[in-house]
Amino acid sequence: MDIRNPAMPDVDDEPGDTSIWFQNDEIGPDLREKLWSIISLEFEQILDRFYDRIENSSNRWMIEKLDRSLIKHKQINHWRQLVLYPVDADYETRLRTMHVLHLNIGMKHSFYISSYMYLLNAFQKEILRHSSGPREAYELIVAMNSIITDDMVRALDVEVNIIEL
């Protein structure tokens, strides 16, 4: 018995419109600026803790050959652009490059998602520490969640031609 929905597209078709769950175009420039001003305060320290956790785990092989200061610099620039600006062609290029790098080091989706959640939690702590009150904290956390969800979904949907590896 085939229980699939007959309206479901074939596997090779588009995965569907995931943007129905978040509207990043509704996050205005003022909110984006405020969000970046808060999470950028401790961003380097957050990344230090992030990489320390990896180095002190059985996953340290993922970063052994990486230049930590260079990768932190690239991450900070990526996140600054991600938070402050809407998605554009440059973003798509960066995302594709990062996805290829993640594949090259053998990163599994489960590691990617859980590490992303670690960063999300760290950003939310900073928002709660530095926002002017509950309403602003709520607005900033909702914006951060939408930006991160959109980025994560796009990253996981990137198609990579095996020749690029």
Give residue-wise pLDDT tens across range 122-148. Answer: 999 999 999 999 999 999 999 999 999
pLDDT at 102: 83
E strand or H helix at 130: helix 109-130
Give the model's pLDDT for residue 65: 86
Percentage above 70 pLDDT, the chain: 83
The pLDDT, as a whole number, for residue 120 is 96
Q: Where are the alpha helices (DSSP H) in 8-108?
A: 29-39, 43-55, 68-84, 89-104
- Mean pLDDT across the stretch 67-74? 93
More confident: 24 or 46: 46
C-alpha span between 71 and 160 (Å, rounded): 21
CB 149 within 8 A of CB 84: no
Q: State the Cα–Cα distance between residues 58 and 24, nearest whole angstrom.
A: 36
- pLDDT tens for 72-121 read 999 999 999 999 987 777 888 888 888 888 888 888 888 989 999 999 99
> Side chain identity at 162, as an amino acid letter?
I
Task: Tell me the average pLDDT of the chain.
Answer: 85
CATH tag for 26-158 (out of 3.40.50.720, 3.40.50.920, 1.10.490.10, 1.10.15.40): 1.10.490.10
